Amino acid sequence: MAGGRRVRFSPAATLERIFRERHGVVIPRQQMVQWVEGIAFLLPAVYHGIWEELQNPLRRSWCRLAEYISWLKITARARIYDSV
């Protein structure tokens, strides 16, 4: 309905018929509409969260620094074990 391999831009009545005929599942149109409304309600929060992450270079720098420190610790441990 809202996504998948191929997005279907079909009316809810058509989707209701497809689910019933092909899969033997009865999903009322109103239920499908409520699901899509719920997804649509959440999407702005997801969008703004991603946007904020992309706009905050300091946060990106700290993430890179943390990754680098973690890599250094792993490398240092490996060298200690190799030398023993």
Per-residue pLDDT of the chain (84 residues; tens, 9 = 90+): 555 445 556 788 888 999 999 999 999 999 988 988 888 888 888 888 777 776 776 666 667 777 777 877 777 766 666 655
Return the pLDDT at 42. Answer: 86
| Cβ atoms within 10 Å, residue 31 | 12
Return the pLDDT at 5. Answer: 46
Taking all residues of the chain, what is their mean pLDDT, rounded to a whole number? 77
pTM: 0.48
32 φ, ψ (degrees, to nearest 5): -65, -40
Return the pLDDT at 68. Answer: 76
